[in-house]
Amino acid sequence: MSTGYGIDMGTGNLKIFSDTDGTIINEKNTIAIVNKDQMYAYGDEAYMMFEKAPETIAVSFPIVNGVIADFDNMQTMLLELLENKLKARIKSSDIVIAVPTDITEVEKKAFYDMFAKTKNKAKSILLCEKPLADALGMGLDVTLPTGVMVVDVGADTTEISVISLGGLVLSTLLPYGGNKLDESIVTYLKRRFNLLIGKKTAMSLKEEIGGAMGGMGKSMSIVGRDVVSGLPIEMTIDSDVVYDGIKDDLENISQNIRMLLEKVPPELAKDIVASGIYLTGGSSRISGFSEFITNMTNIKVNVSENGEESVARGLGRVLGDEKFRRFGYSIRSRIFS
């Protein structure tokens, strides 16, 4: 009996679903390289070195803007996780890989080649559009003649999609997500307080006290570098400062949701108003983000319980339920048809 694995190669995290026990491995999609081409560490261990490593260790992210930027190291990390942590026998396994919708066929083929170009080729390799996997991971039946809007706010990208009858009616991929929010916090603190912080600290501010609405009344002590004196300095930042830093980015995302809604056919729009918008992805956890979108669109927003893993769970349904198996397709049939 073959085993199956659902792979979600996100910019921030690599998620692998195993159908043997339904578990999901969730590791930072980060690699650390020494001697220009030798992998020193990967996953959470490599991410701990980010912004702290000496010049001899290069820490990078193999997925950029939703596509593979470093094929060889991404493949090495992926196979290491499967073979060492999951004890996977790839040769006898079914693989389903999630891919963003609005990327080229050549970029999609790179995801396929992760397993097609290995010594031990998998039993089967299928791709699945990420919005479909997202919706399935949130427990939705996308085969029905009902309009569903899914907004996935990832690390480098935000994918906004409308689904009906198992297909994508409308979809747009924005080239920014949670990482852009972190960069905006870094920029805002530097401009307002002459305080230079790292992206990790910015992410902590966003996750701990950040919100899409002002007046949360939270605060957090951080350490950065004073731009004027050049010395380390400790400063207490309140939630309103973080809000001021990220509100323009959140407004951009909400405006794009609104723009896509304006293109939705009336009958599907009626379904979306009735069921609400489904918000998922790592940055869906930002406090008040759902209310922020509701204020912009006048439509209620349903937030995924564990948005970071919804795609991987959806791939599990593609692997395990014959009804959804057809959402997985071979890249060969797409390119040569």
Residues 147 and 250 in one domain: yes
pLDDT at 35: 87
pLDDT at 313: 97
Residues 121 and 148 in one domain: no
CATH number of 203's domain: 3.30.420.40
Asked whether residue 51 is domain-assigned, the answer is: no
Asked whether residue 42 is domain-assigned, the answer is: no
pLDDT at 131: 97
Residues 297 and 316 in one domain: no
pLDDT at 234: 97
Asked whether residue 268 is domain-assigned, the answer is: yes
Residues 251 and 292 in one domain: yes
Residues pairing with 64 in the sheet? 67
Residues 160 and 117 in one domain: no
Asked whether residue 53 is domain-assigned, the answer is: no
Ramachandran angles phi, psi of 102, nearest 5°: -90, 50
pLDDT at 331: 77
Q: How many structural domains are present in the chain?
A: 2
pLDDT at 333: 45
pTM score above 0.85: yes
Residues pairing with 232 in the sheet? 225
Asked whether residue 49 is domain-assigned, the answer is: no
Residues 14 and 161 in one domain: no
CA dist 131 and 161 (Å) reads 6
Residues 213 and 282 in one domain: yes
Hey, what's the torsion of the CAs at 76, 48, 174, 190, to 10 degrees? -150
Asked whether residue 55 is domain-assigned, the answer is: no
Asked whether residue 35 is domain-assigned, the answer is: no
Residues 251 and 321 in one domain: no
Residues 89 and 230 in one domain: no
pLDDT at 1: 52
Strands 31-34 and 148-153: unpaired
pLDDT at 214: 86
Chunked mean pLDDT (size 10), the chain, 337 residues? 88 95 95 91 96 95 94 94 90 94 92 90 93 97 96 96 96 95 98 97 96 92 97 97 97 97 97 98 94 96 94 96 93 50
Asked whether residue 256 is domain-assigned, the answer is: yes
Residues 222 and 187 in one domain: yes
Range of the domain at 235: 140-303
Residues 247 and 120 in one domain: no
- Judge contact between 11 and 29, C-beta under 8 A: yes
Residues 166 and 23 in one domain: no
Residues pairing with 31 in the sheet? 42, 60
Q: Give a three-class secondary structure readout of the chain.
A: CCEEEEEEECCCEEEEEECCCCCEEEEECCEEEECCCEEEEECHHHHCCCCCCCCCEEEECCEECCEECCHHHHHHHHHHHHHHHCCCCHHHEEEEEEECCCCCHHHHHHHHHHHHCCCCCCCEEEEEEHHHHHHHHCCCCCCCCCCEEEEEECCCCEEEEEEECCEEEEEEEECCCHHHHHHHHHHHHHHHHCEECCHHHHHHHHHHCCECCCCCCCEEEEEEEECCCCCEEEEEEEHHHHHHHHHHHHHHHHHHHHHHHCCCCHHHHHHHHHHCEEEECHHHHCECHHHHHHHHHCCCEEECCCHHHHHHHHHHHHHHCHHHHHHCECHHHHHHC
